[in-house]
Structure 1
Amino acid sequence: MTGAPRDGARLPPAAAPLRLWPPSFGAAIVDFDGTLAETWHLWREVDEVFFSSRGIPFDEDASATLATLGFAAGAQWCVERYHLRDEVADIVDEWNRLGAALYETRVRLRPGAEGYLRSLRSAGVPLALATTNDPHVLGAMRHVDVRSLFDEVVCGREVARGKDHPDIYLEAARRLGAEPAACAVFEDILPGVLSARRAGMRAVAVGCDDPRQPRTELQRAADAWVDGWEGLAEASRAR
């Protein structure tokens, strides 16, 4: 999804300007891949291996679609689109194995991300991670402990639909005990920003290194845009 949404007019009207520090929101829901860690190139490696092993030319658009759908829905999508004989569960296991091997030593948080998250928690803002990634892959990381950074972690397998629907953000808000209107969602993909806005949440679009990121559309759809975390971390340290 790279163009401006046809139904953008149905998004809730913008509320008062969103302040990121000091925070003007009561709870924060944060994506992982792209937003907190630059991992698009790792998942591209996984996709290239997956498609190549089945004699399918690498498809950039398919790779972007899988990033939105998550593991089980993405595997089902691949089975139907490419008429694969694989079982969905076997594809998910394959992606988990490949992803965990890459994440184990190669993933670190983006500069300033941990500092800003810890400042939010110190200010009394509860945090939830909302990721289409799998617990097995997240748990393989040696350099990032998401459980120590977030009050709640919601993975794509725990909700019915991908980030083109608001399910994962609503579940994160529910676990935090927060009303949607009190939440700010930090995301790097357009479907996630649009879903958060339609759920009545504020949306912060976070720039990343993925060359496929539709920056203009994200800046238009979100309540706020940031290029990264370092400026936010510096502002929170200056409090």
Structure 2
Amino acid sequence: MNLAGAIFDLDGTLVDSMDLWDRVPGMLVQSFGKEPAPDLAARLAAMDLPEAAQYLIETYRLPCTVQDVLSRVDQMVDEEYRCHVALKPGAGRLLEALSKKGVPMCIATASEEHQARQAMERLGQREHFSFVLSSSQYGPKTRPDIYLAAARRLGAQPDRVLVVEDALHAARTAKQAGFLVAGVYEPSQAADAPALRQVCDWYLPRLDDEAFLARL
């Protein structure tokens, strides 16, 4: 593989935080005395944070603004990233292997930039990443904007940049935009695994999959 760059998703790819994001929307709705739908997290999965906030306000008639919702979410999740979320199995080994190859890397996340930086610093992986981009600025991963912006900052064409994602909709977007794509197994999205295998150039049960590392 002759890579000119690599773009990593954060939640469910680099860090084991999907359970947090599954719980937060319901917790927020309940804080207003409302009852969230059982499948609320699934309904929000492909949205960026502002879109999800607007959906919650409209669906549950919450007496607040989008910024109010985003501020509450920030308060609820900041401590988790700063103190608790764990690195996904094999992440450190893959990042080290790419660094040794001289591949520049960044993070493109639906979370906030500071949350990604805090998590990577605590987990000892911050040195591997040149920068972090957030969907809060570039829109949801149903559109390729965040990947294309990351490729430009990496100074590389999409066909030489690897995107590492656990979410089917995000992997599909990156692939359609011309990127190389590695899909990562995430237990909370196991139902999408067969489709993810079809979309991606590589499917990784773990980030340090031996066959994949051997091709770097």
1:144-165 deviation digits (Å, cap 9, x = unpaired): 3554221121111221x20111
- Kindly report which structure 2 residues correspond to 1:89-104, keeping only aligned pairs within 5 A, or say none: 89-104=67-82
Question: Is the alpha carbon distance of 1:146 and 1:50 closer, same or farther for their aligned partners in structure 2, counting shifts above 3 Å?
Answer: farther
Decide which structure has greater helix share. Answer: 2
Per the alignment, residue 180 of structure 1 pairs with: 158
Q: What TM-score do the two structures reach when normalised by structure 2?
A: 0.88
Q: Which amino acid aligns with 1:191?
A: H
- Kindly report which structure 2 residues correspond to 1:74-223, keeping only aligned pairs within 5 A, or say none: 74-141=52-119, 143-144=122-123, 147-159=126-138, 161-211=139-189, 213-223=191-201
The two structures, once aligned, show a CA RMSD in angstroms of 2.4
Q: Which amino acid aligns with 1:157?
A: S
Do the aligned partners of 2:182 and 2:202 also contact (CA within 8 Å) in 1?
A: yes
Q: Which moved more, 1:212-221 or 1:96-105?
A: 212-221
Give me the whole-angstrom Cα distance separating, in 1, the residues matched to 2:175 and 2:99: 23
Q: Secondary structure at the match of 2:13?
A: coil
1:95-140 deviation digits (Å, cap 9, x = unpaired): 0110012222211212221221122122121111110101243344
Do the aligned partners of 2:174 and 2:181 also contact (CA within 8 Å) in 1?
A: yes
Q: List runs of 5+ in structure 2 lacking aligned partners.
A: none
Do the aligned partners of 1:116 and 1:232 also contact (CA within 8 Å) in 2?
A: no
C-alpha displacement of 1:79: 1.9
Give me the whole-angstrom Cα distance separating, in 2, the residues matched to 1:232 and 1:69: 33
Number of matched residues?
215
Question: Is the alpha carbon distance of 1:30 and 1:84 closer, same or farther for their aligned partners in structure 2, counting shifts above 3 Å?
Answer: same
Q: List runs of 5+ in structure 1 lacking aligned partners.
A: 1-22
Percentage of pairs with the same residue: 30
Q: What TM-score do the two structures reach when normalised by structure 1?
A: 0.81
- Asked if residue 54 in structure 1 is aligned to residue 32 in structure 2, the reply is yes
Do the aligned partners of 1:163 and 1:195 also contact (CA within 8 Å) in 2?
A: yes
Do the aligned partners of 1:188 and 1:206 also contact (CA within 8 Å) in 2?
A: yes
1:4-25 deviation digits (Å, cap 9, x = unpaired): xxxxxxxxxxxxxxxxxxx343
